[in-house]
């Protein structure tokens, strides 16, 4: 029995050790990361069967990422190794106060951004699973991931899974209007309840027009996170 199926992008995080600055780094620690993968790893840490769906490059970095996922106890059997040679990378500087943390992303054109709805047998994979999860970062990677995320959520509902969708809006990845259109489809909220609002602090912040920052609609669990990174 699968407790969780999570769809998204697995990345590699490269960070200088001991709070060193990236501009002075002579070595980088490598870790697996990615919001959708992190959830699968946390489920596995709790002793649950978590299955991750993604694409990785069929090269040394792709094999490294898959091995790291397996080391966390995540079922990586459905992760595909493709011809696209790139894996998403994020360089992180874990700064000490008063310096802010630094995040530098290099993910455009990654293997996961090439995922399309036809790449996975959604219903076969999701049959019998308890939870199905994806978020607002993955569909922001391109048209293919956008349609794949919707196909995944549709199949999850048809298979009787409890589907969860973490909005996790990233302004750096796509415009608010595009994100809102996807959220309305993903969450099946006919009276959308979402708005894009300009504020003094950020050029575009996703806000709920009605109170609470979590909701449940037609078997869908939802969370709201906003970020400019």
Question: For residue 223, which phi and psi values (nearest 5 degrees)?
Answer: -135, 155
- pLDDT tens for 88-99 read 999 999 988 898
Query: pLDDT grade, residue 222 (50/70/90)?
Result: low
Nearest to 137 by CA among 101, 70, 90: 90
Mean pLDDT of the chain: 85
Closest by alpha carbon to 179, among 161, 192, 190? Answer: 192
- Looking at mean pLDDT, say which of 1-10, 96-105, 191-200 comes out highest: 1-10
pLDDT digits (tens, 9 = 90+) for 110-129: 999 999 999 999 999 999 99
Q: What domains are there in the chain, each with its CATH number?
A: 4-164 (3.40.1190.20)
170-178's contacts with Cβ under 8 Å and 24+ in sequence apart are 170/136, 170/137, 170/140, 170/227, 170/228, 170/229, 171/202, 171/203, 171/204, 171/227, 171/228, 172/105, 172/228, 172/229, 173/137, 173/140, 173/141, 174/140, 175/204, 176/204, 176/206, 178/140
Q: DSSP labels for the chain?
A: --SEEEES--EEEEE-GGG--GGG-S--EEEEE-HHHHHHHHHHHTT--EEEE-EEESSHHHHHHHHHHHHTT-B-TT-EEES-----EEEEE-PPTTSPPEEEEE-TT-GGGG--GGGS-HHHHHTT-SEEEEESSGGGG-HHHHHHHHHHHHHHHHTT-EEEEE--EETTTS-HHHHHHHHHHHHT-SS--EEEE--SS-S-EEEESSS-SEEEETTEEEE--EE--
Q: How confident is the model at residue 165 (pLDDT cuts 50, 70, 90)?
A: confident
């Amino acid at each position: 029995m699968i407790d969780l199926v999570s769809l998204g992008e697995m990345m590699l995080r490269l960070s200088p050790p001991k709070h060193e600055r990236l501009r002075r780094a002579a070595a980088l620690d490598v870790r697996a990361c990615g919001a959708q993968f992190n959830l699968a790893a946390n489920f596995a840490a709790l002793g649950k069967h978590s299955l991750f769906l993604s694409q990785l490059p069929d090269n040394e970095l792709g094999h490294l990422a898959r091995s790291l996922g397996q080391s966390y106890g995540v079922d990586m059997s459905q992760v595909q190794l493709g011809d696209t040679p790139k894996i998403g990378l994020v360089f992180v500087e874990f700064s000490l106060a008063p310096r802010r943390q630094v995040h530098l992303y290099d993910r455009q054109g990654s293997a996961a951004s090439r995922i399309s709805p036809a790449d996975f047998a959604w219903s076969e994979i999701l049959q019998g699973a308890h939870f199905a999860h994806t978020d607002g970062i993955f569909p922001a990677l391109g048209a293919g991931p956008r349609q794949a995320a919707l196909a995944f959520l549709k199949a999850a509902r048809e298979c009787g899974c409890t589907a969860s969708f973490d909005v996790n809006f990233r302004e750096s990845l796509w415009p608010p209007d595009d994100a809102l259109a996807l959220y309305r489809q993903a969450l099946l909220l006919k009276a959308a309840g979402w708005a894009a609002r300009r504020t003094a602090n950020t050029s575009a912040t996703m806000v709920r027009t009605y109170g609470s920052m979590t909701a449940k609609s037609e078997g869908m669990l939802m969370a709201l996170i906003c970020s400019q990174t």
